Structure 1
Amino acid sequence: MLSEDVFQTIDQLIEKSIANKLMTRLDQRYVRNQILGLLKLDSFDETNYQSSNETVPALLDTLVTYAVDKNIIDNILSDKEILRAQIMNCFLSNPTEINQTFYQKYQVHPQAATDYFYKLSKSSNYIQTDRIAKNIHYKVASPYGDLDITINLSKPEKDLEQLKKEREMKQTIQYPQCVLCAENEGYIGHIGHPARSNHRIIEVPLDEEIWFLQYSPYVYYNEHCILLSSEHRPMKINRATFERLTGFVEKFPHYFMGSNADIPIVGGSILAHDHYQGGHYAFAMTKAKEKYPFPLATFPTVSASIVNWPLSVLRLRSQSKKDIIDAATFILGKWRNYNDPSVEIIAYSAETNHNTITPIARIRGQQFELDLILRNNRTTSTYPYGIFHPHEDVHHIKKENIGLIEAMGLAVLPPRLKKELGEIRAHLSNPKSPVASYHQSWVSQIKAQHSDINEQNVEQIISQELGKKFVRVLEDSGVFKSNLEGNEAFKRFIRTLNE
Structure 2
Amino acid sequence: MSVSIYHHIEHLLHYGVRQELITKWDIEVIRNKILEVLEIEDYIYPDKVVEEDTPLREILEAILDWASKNNRLKENTITYRDLLDTKLMGCFVPLPSELNRTFFEMVTSEGPEQATNWFYKFSKKVDYIRTDRIAKNEEWLTKTEYGDMEITINLSKPEKDPVAIAAAKNLKQTGYPNCLLCKENTGYAGRINHPARQNHRIIPVTLKDEQWFLQFSPYVYYKEHAICFSEQHSPMTISKKTFEQLLLFVQQYPHYFIGSNADLPIVGGSILSHEHFQGGYHEFPMAKAPIEWQFSLKQYPTVIAGLVQWPMSVIRLQGEEIEELVEASDYILQKWKHYTDVKADIVAYTNDKRHNTITPIARRRNDLFEIDLVLRNNRTNKEYPFGIFHPHEEVHSIKKENIGLIEVMGLAVLPGRLKDEMNILAEQLVQVDYEERITRDDSISKHLNWAKTVKSKYANIKESNVHSIIQKEIGLTFETILHHAGVFKRNTEGKSAFLRFIDVLVHEKNA
TM-score range normalised by the length of the shorter chain: over 0.9
Residue in 2 that maps onto 1:144:
146
Residue in 1 that maps onto 2:441:
none
Residue in 2 that maps onto 1:228:
229
Residue in 1 that maps onto 2:124:
122
Residue in 1 that maps onto 2:155:
153
Residue in 2 that maps onto 1:474:
482
Q: Following the alignment from structure 2 to structure 1, what is the Cα–Cα distance between the partners of residues 80 and 469? A: 43
1:20 maps to a residue whose letter is: Q
For structure 1, the 5+ residue unaligned runs are: none
2:157 maps to a residue whose letter is: K
Residue in 2 that maps onto 1:496:
504
Displacement, 1:53?
5.1
What SS is found at the alignment partner of 2:488? coil
Q: Following the alignment from structure 1 to structure 2, what is the Cα–Cα distance between the partners of residues 340 and 158? A: 44
Q: Following the alignment from structure 1 to structure 2, what is the Cα–Cα distance between the partners of residues 364 and 233? A: 31
Residue in 2 that maps onto 1:31:
30
What SS is found at the alignment partner of 1:485? helix
Q: Following the alignment from structure 1 to structure 2, what is the Cα–Cα distance between the partners of residues 243 and 159? A: 42
Q: Following the alignment from structure 2 to structure 1, what is the Cα–Cα distance between the partners of residues 17 and 268? A: 42
Q: Following the alignment from structure 1 to structure 2, what is the Cα–Cα distance between the partners of residues 117 and 274? A: 22
Q: Following the alignment from structure 1 to structure 2, what is the Cα–Cα distance between the partners of residues 432 and 168? A: 49
Q: Following the alignment from structure 1 to structure 2, what is the Cα–Cα distance between the partners of residues 382 and 360? A: 31
TM (norm. structure 1) is 0.98
1:315 maps to a residue whose letter is: R
What SS is found at the alignment partner of 2:26? helix
What SS is found at the alignment partner of 1:83? helix
Residue in 1 that maps onto 2:62:
62
Question: Which deviates the most, 248-257 or 148-157?
Answer: 148-157
TM (norm. structure 2) is 0.95
Following superposition of structure 1 onto structure 2, how do residues 19-418 of structure 1 map, counting pairs within 5 Å?
19-47=18-46, 48-52=48-52, 54-75=54-75, 76-108=77-109, 109-170=111-172, 172-418=173-419
For structure 2, the 5+ residue unaligned runs are: 439-443
Displacement, 1:453?
1.3
CA contact (8 A) 2:164 2:193 kept: no
Q: What fraction of aligned residue pairs are identical, expressed as a percent?
A: 46
Deviation string, structure 1 residues 438-472 (Cα, Å, up to 9, x no partner): 11111111111100112222121111111111011
Residue in 1 that maps onto 2:470:
462
Q: Following the alignment from structure 2 to structure 1, what is the Cα–Cα distance between the partners of residues 2 and 406? A: 46
Q: Following the alignment from structure 2 to structure 1, what is the Cα–Cα distance between the partners of residues 51 and 401? A: 45
Q: Following the alignment from structure 1 to structure 2, what is the Cα–Cα distance between the partners of residues 147 and 231? A: 35
Displacement, 1:158?
2.2
Deviation string, structure 1 residues 89-116 (Cα, Å, up to 9, x no partner): 1111100000010000000201111011
What SS is found at the alignment partner of 1:399? coil
CA contact (8 A) 2:79 2:161 kept: no
1:480 maps to a residue whose letter is: F
Q: Following the alignment from structure 1 to structure 2, what is the Cα–Cα distance between the partners of residues 17 and 124? A: 9
CA contact (8 A) 1:78 1:195 kept: no
Displacement, 1:280?
0.2
Q: Following the alignment from structure 1 to structure 2, what is the Cα–Cα distance between the partners of residues 301 and 215? A: 35
CA contact (8 A) 2:15 2:53 kept: no
2:175 maps to a residue whose letter is: Q
Q: Following the alignment from structure 2 to structure 1, what is the Cα–Cα distance between the partners of residues 309 and 223? A: 24
Displacement, 1:24?
1.1
What SS is found at the alignment partner of 2:169? helix
